[in-house]
Amino acid sequence: MHLLDMTAAELAEALAAKTVSAVELTRACLERIAAVEPKVHAFITVCAEEAFKQAADIDRRRLRGEPLPPLAGIPVAVKDNICTAGIRTSCASRMLQDFVPPYDATVVMRLKQAGAVVVGKTNMDEFAMGSTTEYSFFGPTRNPWRHEYVPGGSSGGSAAALAARAVPLALGSDTGGSVRLPAAFCGVMGLKPTYGRVSRYGLVAFASSLEQIGPMARSVRDLALLYDAIGGWDDYDQTTLPAEFIPTLPGLNKEIKGLRVGVPAEYFGPGLESAVREKVRSRLKVLQDLGLIVEEISLPTTEYAVAAYYVIAMAEASSNLARYDGVRYGHRAAGRDILAMFTRTRQEGFGPEVKRRIMIGTYVLSAGYYDEYYRKAQEVRTLIRRELEAAFTRCDLLLTPTAPVLPWMMGEKQRDPLTMYLADCCTVPANLAGLPGLSLPCGFVDGLPVGMQLLGPALSEPLLLRVAYHYEQAAASCHATPPEGGGAGGI
């Protein structure tokens, strides 16, 4: 097996056994990045010098016989809206193209404490606003399976880097599906945690009440390994939950027989491509063979989720992005007075999708429209949350498609942003309700990956990962073997 085809857990064992060094593994990742970047463009910044320093330090500590943390020497890619001390964090925007944070985000601090080696910052939709990773000031990311297709977004760079075998682990952020959608489109795994389970300190804000940093990987064990490293209370983020953090890795093998899986009819209705419907429904048999009880349920408020989500998300974006005014940091344009400077800075610094969302968000918050749009969206959010909570009194978890459609071709939806927004219909309810969601590969259609989603009640990450682990063992063929001519081998 090639070094970069190994999982993070397998690489950790090889490192501990000293059959490979952290420096050798880091060099292999950086060489792979250099080889695939011209076609995929998953990275904005590659941190070769810093990565080799971290790897060499891990090797020295291992040779001295020091006890090492679980991710010691494992390369990780970090989405470029997560702050890294001394390394550019651009949010894929001209506004922050030269911004170098003076501090690490909490998740980056925890990665370093766990011994991980940060090899680069991944491409994304500007300020995480998009579902395709086409809206980047630095150019789009392409799907490693078929380069003329999008990788999903906004964490498309992280998903593409994993699918291209450039790194074994990656971090993304999920505001309305931005971890799960690219995971589905690239045939990898992505977890959106319960709101408050992973610190947002150092995550550049888009929609603060919705977004969470989430782990991405190619196996469930790796996903659990990364989630356990970054989760838990953080003194720097008062929205993190004080509930005891229970590591998920030790419980992956626990029994799952008898668990009840709800299949919401609304997620399989009009708008869902038939090929996606057939592929996801075919996996229900795998779960039933594992002893799970599958039943159909109804979630009527689902049809209002996308509208409510985009009103709330754009309103919060309008507020959060007001800080980019050319005065304190980021891009600054020349102007004859402060108003002209402020106006030109925002005209030049933001791309078209970000401007669109700021304008809509400002509109729904304006006098005369606040009650009509923003307040109603928050009321719908409450209804969605209550409906999901009621569903989890009957079911242990829910199963849905991750996306209603297959990956689409580059440029296909740029002239019709509404159709792009509708691609989030399966993922936004979890963000509105603050619940965890996990996207798993469930096969291919015409050489393009399809993802299915597991949803659970608050703090049910151990359960979701346990079910996912058993499913992965039973349906390994869904994600282990690339279609002919595709995947990393075809790049």
**What is the rounded CA–CA span in Å between residue 261 and residue 283?**
12
The answer to whether the CB of 173 falls within 8 A of the CB of 211 is yes
297 Rama class: left (phi>0) / alpha (psi -120 to 50) / beta: beta
Q: Which residues are marked as active site?
A: 79, 154, 178
The pair of three-digit structure tokens given for residue 62, joined into one six-digit string: 């291992």
CB atoms within 10 A of CB 486: 19
Q: What letter would DSSP give residue 337? A: S
Following CA atoms 356, 359, 361, 362 in sequence, which dihedral angle do they give, to the nearest 10 degrees? 170
Angle at 220 between CA 119 and CA 106, to 5 degrees: 45
**What is the rounded CA–CA span in Å between residue 223 and residue 206?**
24
Q: Which residues contact 92 (CB under 8 A, 6 or more apart)?
A: 44, 80, 81, 123, 124, 125, 126, 127, 135, 136, 137, 138
Angle between helices 461-474 and 220-230 (to 10 degrees): 160
**What is the rounded CA–CA span in Å between residue 283 and residue 285?**
5
**What is the rounded CA–CA span in Å between residue 70 and residue 58?**
12
Burial 72-87 (b: 16+ CB within 10 A, else e): bbbbbbbbbbbbbbeb
CA distances from 377 to 312, 320, 380, 391 (A): 7, 18, 5, 21
Q: Coil, strand or helix: which one is 122? A: strand
The answer to whether the CB of 247 falls within 8 A of the CB of 197 is no
